[in-house]
């Protein structure tokens, strides 16, 4: 059982929904980013999504793109992002960490080298937004063999014909993208998300977590009420971008987590 499976089993047993938080590794700099990541479990974060900066982030809106640019300008790399996970594991061996990003940095490092380094560092799962199911042999299957969950995105355009293919090799949880388009661009609506989550849950036993367009504790609660949990990324990254202190960023994260946990 992976850390992700164990966390969702624990949440299910407690009758609680999950709160998943995203930050870009190395934004605004390595040390500040690491402090935020280390503070997340105490702030109520159930799963940490750690972004790997990339020069051409096609699925990301301006907020996440700028975070990636700041991280890259500060010298952040895939290996340094793994170092952050390793540092977290020195004091937290239970909170799941999912790396989120694009295939190019992994391809450049080499899949075997990456998987060995990721498992050694304590990574639990991967969300690679530009690898469709048709390319599962590239990374998804090797990652699963290495003991990492491969989390797949489903979207409003994932119809009933496409859904089985998307779910085929997915593990850990399904990440439902509540809106079409790029990150941070619109506001998620629980009335629209609920039926889509139900449709996906009818096809899989995996938890379905909803992200994109969730910016407030109230929205985190509303979305979690119709899913197995909610994800917030851009709204947290905006706090970091505005220069807020680590305690202030974590206080905002804690308010979002409390919202999701009320659901």
Catalytic residue positions, numbered = 49, 60
Q: What is the helix (H) or strand (E) element at residue 150, kind and residue range? A: strand 149-150
In DSSP terms, 209 is beta-bridged to: 175, 229
Report yes or no: 61 and 213 within 8 Å, Cβ to Cβ. no
Three-point CA angle 151, 230, 35, nearest 5°: 85
Residue 216 DSSP symbol: S
Give the strand pairing for 125-128 and 97-101. Answer: parallel
Report yes or no: 233 and 49 within 8 Å, Cβ to Cβ. yes
Report yes or no: 76 and 28 within 8 Å, Cβ to Cβ. no
Q: How far apart are CA 89 and CA 71, in angstroms?
A: 21
SS3 label, residue 156: coil
Tell the residue number behind the tokens 């355009």, with chain if given.
157
Report yes or no: 152 and 159 within 8 Å, Cβ to Cβ. no
Report yes or no: 229 and 207 within 8 Å, Cβ to Cβ. yes
Report yes or no: 235 and 214 within 8 Å, Cβ to Cβ. yes
């Amino acid at each position: 059982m992976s850390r992700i499976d164990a966390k969702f089993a624990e949440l299910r047993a407690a009758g609680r929904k999950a709160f998943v938080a995203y930050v870009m590794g190395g934004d605004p700099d390595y040390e500040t980013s690491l402090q935020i990541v280390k503070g997340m479990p105490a702030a109520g974060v159930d799963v940490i999504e750690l972004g790997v900066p990339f020069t051409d982030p096609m699925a990301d809106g301006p907020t996440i793109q700028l975070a990636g640019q700041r991280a890259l300008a500060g010298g952040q790399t895939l290996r340094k992002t793994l170092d952050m996970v390793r540092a977290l594991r020195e004091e937290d061996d239970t909170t799941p960490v999912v790396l989120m990003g694009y295939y190019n940095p992994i391809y450049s490092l080499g899949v075997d080298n990456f998987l060995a380094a990721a498992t050694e560092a304590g990574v639990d799962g991967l969300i690679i937004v530009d690898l469709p199911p048709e390319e599962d042999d590239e990374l998804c299957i090797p990652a699963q063999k290495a003991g990492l969950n491969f989390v797949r995105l489903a979207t409003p355009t994932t119809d009933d014909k496409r859904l089985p293919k998307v779910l085929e090799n997915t593990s850990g949880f399904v990440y439902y993208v509540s809106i079409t388009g790029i990150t941070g661009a619109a506001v998620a609506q629980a009335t629209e998300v609920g039926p889509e989550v139900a449709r996906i849950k009818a096809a899989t036993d995996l938890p379905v977590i909803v992200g994109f367009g969730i910016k407030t504790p109230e929205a985190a609660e509303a979305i979690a009420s119709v899913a197995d949990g909610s994800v917030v990324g851009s709204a947290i990254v905006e706090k970091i971008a505005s220069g807020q202190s680590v305690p202030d960023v974590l206080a905002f994260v804690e308010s979002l987590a409390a919202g999701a946990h009320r659901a």
